[in-house]
Structure formats: C-alpha cells, structure tokens
Amino acid sequence: MQDRALVAKVGRVLAHGKKRARKFVRTLKLAKHRRRLRRTIEGLRRRGRRAGQSATLQLRKRAMRVRKRARHLKLSADGLRIRASYHAHRKLLANRSSRNAYLRALPKLTPLQTRLVEELKRDGIAATSFNELVVDDNLWRELRTDIDAFAAGVAAGLPVNRTKPRIKADYLIRRHNTAENRARAPAPWSAFPGNDPWVRLGVRPEILDIVNTYRGLWTKCLEFDQWYTVPFPDLQAPIGAQNWHRDDGDLGLVTLFVYFTDLDDGAGPLQFVSGSHQDGPLARLWPWTLFDQRFISAEDVRRRVPDDAVKTMTGPAGLIVLADSSGLHRGGLARVRPRIMSYHVYASPAAPCSSLRRRNFALDQLPPGIADAARFALS
C-alpha cells in the first residue's frame, strides 16, 4: 500500500512538473512571440514615421510650389496691371495733362539752361557747377553745413579696419532712404518742413525748368537723399550699382546729382554711356525695362560700346550733373577718398500714378512763394 501511495505521489509530482514545464515552455514561446510582435510593430511604426515624414515633405514641397506659382501669377497679374496703367498714363492720361500744363506755361530758359537741355537730349547727360546754375550762396552754405554734419557723423562711425564690402550697404551710406526706414512703413519714409534746404533745392526754377523742358511736361520730384560713399583701396570687383545699369520705374527718369567733394577717378565718379537714353542711338543696347533692374558687366559694355561714348563726370566740389538715368550708367567705385553727394529724382506723373515710384518724403507744408510747376512737382 505504501509503495502504491509512493508511486501515485511520484506520478502526481511528475504530472505536475510536466504541467509546469509545459506552462513554462508556453510562457517562453509567448514571450518570444511578444518580442517578435513588438519588433514588428516597432518596425511598422518606424516605416510609418518615415513614410509620414516623406509624405509631409512631399506635401510641403508641393505646397511651396503652389505658393510660388500663385505668387508668380499674382506678380504677373500685378505686373500686367501696372504695365497697362503706366502706358495708359504715359500716353493718354496723367502725362497728357502734365504736357498740356507745360505747354500753357513754357519756361524762359537762359543760355546755360538751353545748353544743358540740348546736351541732355543729345547725350542723355549734362554738367555744370552750382555757382553757374543756381547762383545762391546762402542756399549753398545751408546745404554744405547740413551735409558736412551728416558726413562727419558717418566718418566717425566707420571702423578703422574695414573689411571688403559684400553688399551695396557696406560701401554706400544713405541718410534717409535706409533699410530701417523702409522696413518701418511704406513710403514716405521721412518728413521735412517746407523750408528745408533740400526741398527748396529740388524745386529751384533753374533746375526744374531744365528737367521739365527735357521731358516736355511737368515732372514730379519723388525722391531725394544724401549719400556717403566709403572708399576701399583694395576693392576689385564692382558691387550693385557700381556695375552698369539702367534705373527702372520711368522711361526718361531724370536724376540731379550735386557733389560736395572733389570728384575724380579715386572718388568713384558717375560714368554714363552717351546716347543710351530714350531715343538715343544706343538706346537698344540692353534696352530699358519697366521692372527688374539688371546689371551689365564692364566686359560686355567694353565689347559693345565705343570708348568715346563713355563719359566720366569729374570736377571740383559744387559739380552738378543732370542725367537721364534710364540710360546706361554706373558710379561709386571709390578707392581713394569718399564721395559725398546729394541726388533728386524727377519722374513723369505716369510713374506715381501707376505705383511704380512713390514719393519717399513728406512735407508739412509747401515752400512759400513757389511757382505752379514747383507746386505740381511736390504735390
């Protein structure tokens, strides 16, 4: 009996052990399956993430292409609208009214003014001196005192060891038309009193009558500023407007340059291709366009333009240059001394009416006692 009981007990133990052993094996197999399943799931997740990232990247690229295309279409539509508006105002609307106003009150030009108009029509550029044209010592002293203060402040802030310029802002210091002013709000960026000397200079009849006679209409004075060109002795390649280019925004755009330092080859003088202005014999060379100002290399100009057609405008302080800046020109490649100057831009009414060029200054009131043409230029 005892043996049977022992055998039965041993059998129960073995059976229980087999059961536990089978359970242990099942546990191992289940853990193995779980690990395999976990690895599979994790792999699928990784693939999903990669696929999701790839899909997201593709969607972003597609959205970028769509936005770029939409922007291009918008710019194209805006460009067509502006171009149509400009030509309509240039041929029929605003310019026609301005031309009639000019014809009703033709200015009487002095011999000097007549010579400058003839040179503008023939070459696209003309030069004289402040003392010959304006003949106002008090105004010259006001302008000189004001721009000397600006130049002294710029010179004091320049680093001693200057690196080579990379962009236009590295060598050309603007007084009002700065990136900070442009970023704050759309034009106008600066406000001036009506008796400001730069405002009065821009509508002096000695200057405005030349510009209006050249254009054959009353023009708008849309922009003026003062510049300090920093010299770089080791400057080799020109940057930005130091290359040959045409100013966009208006065909026949006239720019008045007044220089307050002696201008020679070391100060980056203005150079102009004679006859490249509107209706000039070289007007078809890299023709003027309404948008997209482009730069032309010196090698290309040297290859296609005769040497005697390139005019270099040099002279002592007080030099005045009037240029049709829709013609080919360049300047500012200063290597020896700074170039300190002011400029005023005159455009036909078609340019502001078509939003191609906006006035970059505002006035609290018009200068007292100005003529109708000057009032029109500042309105």
Could you tell me if residue 102 is inside a domain?
A: no
Could you tell me if residue 103 is inside a domain?
A: no
- Look at residue 68 in the predicted model and tell me its pLDDT: 60
What is the C-alpha to C-alpha distance for residues 243 and 263, in angstroms, rounded to an integer?
A: 18
Considering the domain architecture, whether residues 247 and 326 belong to the same structural domain is answered as yes
Considering the domain architecture, whether residues 209 and 346 belong to the same structural domain is answered as yes
Domain boundary among 92, 121, 155: 92
Considering the domain architecture, whether residues 162 and 298 belong to the same structural domain is answered as yes
Could you tell me if residue 104 is inside a domain?
A: no
- DSSP H stretches of helix in the chain: 2-91, 94-104, 111-123, 130-133, 137-157, 168-171, 179-184, 197-202, 205-215, 298-304, 350-353, 372-378
| Bridge partners, residue 341, by sequence | 227, 259
Q: Strands 220-229 and 254-259: what pairing?
A: unpaired
Could you tell me if residue 99 is inside a domain?
A: no
Number of domains in the chain: 2
What is the C-alpha to C-alpha distance for residues 132 and 268, in angstroms, rounded to an integer?
A: 24
Could you tell me if residue 98 is inside a domain?
A: no
Considering the domain architecture, whether residues 136 and 198 belong to the same structural domain is answered as yes
Considering the domain architecture, whether residues 27 and 165 belong to the same structural domain is answered as no
- Look at residue 81 in the predicted model and tell me its pLDDT: 83
Considering the domain architecture, whether residues 132 and 246 belong to the same structural domain is answered as yes
Could you tell me if residue 191 is inside a domain?
A: yes
| CATH number, position 241 | 2.60.120.620
- Look at residue 293 in the predicted model and tell me its pLDDT: 79
- What is the number of other CB atoms lying within 10 angstroms of the CB of residue 266? 15
- Look at residue 54 in the predicted model and tell me its pLDDT: 64
- Look at residue 14 in the predicted model and tell me its pLDDT: 47
Considering the domain architecture, whether residues 191 and 115 belong to the same structural domain is answered as yes
Domain boundary among 92, 127, 148: 92
Considering the domain architecture, whether residues 49 and 161 belong to the same structural domain is answered as no
Contact, 229 vs 325, CB < 8 A?
no
Considering the domain architecture, whether residues 126 and 156 belong to the same structural domain is answered as yes
Considering the domain architecture, whether residues 83 and 123 belong to the same structural domain is answered as no
For 33, the domain range is 1-92
Could you tell me if residue 97 is inside a domain?
A: no
Domain boundary among 34, 65, 92: 92
- Look at residue 7 in the predicted model and tell me its pLDDT: 46
Could you tell me if residue 285 is inside a domain?
A: yes
| Bridge partners, residue 319, by sequence | 129
- Look at residue 2 in the predicted model and tell me its pLDDT: 47
What is the C-alpha to C-alpha distance for residues 328 and 296, in angstroms, rounded to an integer?
A: 9
Distances (CA, A) of 315 to 129, 230, 260, 270: 9, 19, 10, 11
Query: Radius of gyration (Cα) for the chain, nearest Å?
Result: 37
Considering the domain architecture, whether residues 232 and 350 belong to the same structural domain is answered as yes
What is the C-alpha to C-alpha distance for residues 248 and 213, in angstroms, rounded to an integer?
A: 21
Nearest in space to 115 (alpha carbons), one of 226, 9, 213: 213
Per-residue pLDDT of the chain (379 residues; tens, 9 = 90+): 545 654 455 455 445 555 555 555 555 556 666 677 667 667 766 766 666 666 666 667 666 666 665 555 555 667 788 888 998 999 899 999 999 999 999 999 999 999 999 999 999 999 999 999 999 999 999 999 999 999 999 999 988 777 788 888 888 999 988 877 777 666 677 889 989 999 999 999 999 999 999 999 999 999 999 999 999 887 778 888 899 999 999 999 999 999 999 999 999 999 999 999 998 999 999 999 887 778 999 999 999 999 999 999 999 999 999 999 999 999 988 888 999 999 999 999 999 999 888 898 999 889 888 999 999 999 9
| Bridge partners, residue 256, by sequence | 322, 344
Considering the domain architecture, whether residues 155 and 22 belong to the same structural domain is answered as no
Identify the three-state secondary structure at position 222.
strand
